[in-house]
Amino acid sequence: MARVQDAKSTLQALARFGGEILEAHLLHGNRLVETDENQSMLQTLEHHRLVWRIGDAEDLQLKKVLVHFLDHITETERRRYANAQVSHLWQALTDLFTDYKAAKVRSAFDDIDRLEGEIKECLAEVIEDIRNATEAFGAYINTGFAYVTDAELRIRENKRVIEQADRLIQLFESFKLNELAEQAGTDPFLKRLLLRYLPATLEASQKDLSYSLNQLRKMLVRMRENQRLSRLVGTFEAYYINHPGFEATIDHIDFTRLPEAFNTVSPFSIKGFGDIYDPADELILIELAANARTTEETAVPVKVVASATTVDFDVDGEVEVEESDPVEEAIAELLQLVIDGVIGHDLILASDALNRSGLEVERADWLQALAAEIEVLPDEDRQFIEIHIQHTPDPVYPDNLFVYDIALRQAHEK
Amino acid sequence: MSSPLFERTVTALMQEQVICEISDEELYNYLTMPDSQESVNRFLGQINRTLRLTSAQDAFVCAYLDLSRPEAKEAVRQQFKEVANHLEAFVQFLRLVMTLESGDRPVQPGDKLSEGYLLDRITTAPALESKLRSLAEKKIFHTKRADTASQLRSVLDSLEKKGYLKAIGSSGSVYRATGRWSWLYDVMTFIQAHEGIPQEEEAAPEQMRLD
């Protein structure tokens, strides 16, 4: 009875100091640092033989049995170190088999019994840990690392988990199942574990892990793309703030090397006439025509209430006159002169034309507008114009040319 | 023998639509089949057009095969102007949604945007209302209405009309982002490189958000 009371009191102590014990296990390598505040706790734990120390100067350590228990209950934490955990267990299992083999050679039956029990337990733990480790990666995929708020840190966390998964896959590949299977001996339970459960668990885990790894890598790519887009938006936001009125232009782009993103078609309406030449369409056309006619005929006449004020609409409707652009007009006149004017082989300088026009336009704008207009001229007009771009190379980068004028000449057949 | 799906797909592509899983699942699925792609491309090829995928591989667009032709150049120039003119407004919208969603990534195809949720969040902070007001003054989202709800509605309506959002359900107040955003990000990436816009350090947007 006293033993039961002691055990109950030990469990109560564990419950009472659970937080501190877990902290010591997870954060301080099972060490309980002595302070003035925790004297009572340390005494209680010593009393229940849950801690130990060699000398008084040393910190108290959690006892092995308690550590083992904590290992068991803090599975989530263990999953994080699944790679090392499985590796450690696998090594223990290999050692046990070596001992088991030696015990058999010596016919040490008690040891054989004990080792068989330990091998079974160790093997069961390996299987469980392999499953746990694999499930942990599935959990990462489900959360999408949402618990990390910063994008950069999330990417790092994702990379770290990918490395973990990589290591685990390598570890699984290093397991030599055939060698262990040979050591299973005649024990049916051991044989079942080694020849059936362990390979099946490993195969399923490898499959799940490969899937997880693939998903994690996809997630990483997505995160990086999100980060890139986020920076892209930030870049433009900052640029617009720092350069008010900025407007991107493609006027000087080589159209033959235009990126695909820009190359999209303008709307192109596809319409056809009703096929009045094919008798097969006759019925449909008659119906359509009938409906089109009856719409007007059956329109309900609007009753005009005598007291209502009438609204007169201008028959022609409001006409909005679009103002003509003097630059456009001047360019059109200039091009017309070059195309069908009597100018022989004379060159006309765009800058001269600008000066004579009296327009207050920057020369660069004028040249650009002229070049744009020439570019959109129909081929039948364009063929009559010879263009000579007048430019000087940049003193530093001679490949860059400064265009300072455009000379136009009527093209004559040679 | 005509095929209704082929006809719808080609018509949509030629009407400048971006086809993705959100904008039209049926057409998107049709285009993901190699045989369909081939037949659509064969047809488009005869009229100087071809099928293209955005770099995120999530949306199809129709592109010119030969861009040296004047009409093709002019069309592309017009589209670029359209984007360039409204890009600042799009960027502001993306930042506003990122702030509201407390997210570290901009809107992407498939994302759900709820008008009610956005409105709730905006009305809790005058700074956000001010950002929305500024957005509603942009040409593309312009509205004369002064109340936050109408301004938000105007912004979302404009994005729906432009094909960036698709209303889901019958209420008309929940939207899904379409593949057109992928296309816009491609264009932005190009503009950044082409205009030599320096990459902002990661902290910069955060600082601006605090403004």
Q: pLDDT by residue for chain A (414 residues), tens digit each?
A: 567 888 888 999 898 888 888 888 877 778 888 888 888 898 899 888 898 887 777 788 898 888 888 877 765 555 556 667 777 888 888 888 888 878 888 888 888 888 888 888 888 888 888 887 788 787 788 777 777 777 788 888 888 888 888 888 877 777 777 766 676 666 676 777 778 778 888 888 888 888 888 888 988 888 899 889 999 999 999 999 888 888 887 666 666 666 666 677 666 666 556 666 666 766 776 777 666 654 444 444 444 444 444 455 554 545 566 667 888 888 888 888 888 777 888 888 888 888 888 888 888 888 888 888 888 887 778 888 888 888 888 777 777 778 888 888 888 754
Please list, in sequence order, all residues whose beta carbon lies within 8 angstroms of the beta carbon of residue B68, skipping any fewer than 6 positions away. A255, A256
How much is the pLDDT for A273?
A: 64
Q: Find, in chain B, the residue whose alpha carbon is nearest to that of A148.
A: B104
Contacts of A262 in chain B (CB under 8 A): 76, 79-80, 187, 190
Half-sphere exposure at residue A413, Cβ-oriented, CA atoms within 13 angstroms: 0
Query: Which run of H or of E encompasses B67?
Result: none
Question: What's the whole-model pTM score?
Answer: 0.56
SS3 call for A409: strand
A378 to chain B: closest CA residue: B70
Q: Are strands B112-114 and A51-52 parallel, antiparallel or unpaired?
A: unpaired
B74, A376: Cβ pair inside 8 Å? yes
Residue A250 to residue B194, Cβ atoms within 8 A: yes
How many helices (H) and strands (E) chain A has is answered by: 16, 6
| B73 Cβ contact partners less than 8 Å away, ≥ 6 residues apart | A255, A375, A376, B67
State the best of A247, A250, A269 to mutate against chain B, taking most chain B CBs within 10 Å.
Answer: A250
* pLDDT value at B4 more than 90: no
A contacts of B84 (beta carbons < 8 Å): 247-249
Residue A128 contacts residue A201 (beta carbons within 8 Å): no
Q: Which of B80, B95, B198 sits opposite A250 (nearest CB)?
A: B80
Burial class (CB in 10 A: 0-12, 13-18, 19+), B159: buried
Query: What is the per-residue pLDDT across B25-48, written as a single tens digit (0 to 9) for each?
Result: 999 999 999 999 999 999 999 988
Nearest to A411 by CA among A368, A379, A365, A373: A379
Q: Cβ distance A224 to A149 under 8 Å?
A: no
pLDDT at B205 over 60: no
Q: What angle do CA A221, A222, A227 make, to 5 degrees?
A: 100
| HSE (side-chain half, CA atoms, 13 Å) at A343 | 19
- Predicted pLDDT of residue A255: 65
Quickly tell me which residue has 């660069």 as its tokens. A364
**Cβ contact (<8 Å) for B16 and A264?**
yes
- Count of residues making up chain B: 211
Mutate to test the interface with B, among A233, A251, A379 (most CBs of B within 10 A): A233
Instruction: Say if A250 is an interface residue toward chain B (CB within 8 Å).
Output: yes
Chain A, nearest residue to B44 by Cα: A265
Are A177 and A202 spatial neighbours (Cβ–Cβ below 8 Å)?
yes
Task: Specify the pLDDT at position A299.
Answer: 43
Q: Shortest CB distance from A265 goes to which of B63, B70, B197? A: B63
Give the pLDDT mean for B123-140: 90
Closest CA to B22 of B125, B113, B101: B113
Distance from the Cα of A26 to chain B's closest Cα (Å) equals: 32
Q: In degrees, to the nearest 5, what angle opens at C-alpha B47 toward C-alphas B83 and B31?
A: 70
Residue type, position A311, single letter: V
- Spatial distance between the Cα atoms of B116 and B20, rounded to a whole number of angstroms: 25
DSSP character at residue A410: E
A17: its two tokens = 């100091």
Instruction: With beta carbons less than 8 A apart as the criterion, state whether A284 and A277 touch.
Output: no
**Per-residue model confidence as pLDDT tens digits over A120-178:** 888 888 888 888 778 878 778 877 777 777 778 888 888 888 888 888 887 777 777 77
Q: Report the pLDDT value the prediction gives residue B43, as an integer from 0 to 100.
A: 93
- Mutating which of A149, A219, A232, A249 best tests the B interface, going by the most B Cβ atoms within 10 A? A232
pLDDT at position B1: 59
Residues of chain B with Cβ-Cβ distance to A265 below 8 Å are 13-14, 16, 49, 62-64, 75
Cβ-based neighbours of A265, under 8 Å, separated by 6 or more: B13, B14, B16, B49, B62, B63, B64, B75
Across the interface, of B83, B195, B208, the residue whose CB is closest to A238 is B208
Report, as an integer, the average pLDDT of B1-8: 83
Mean pLDDT on B150-161: 93
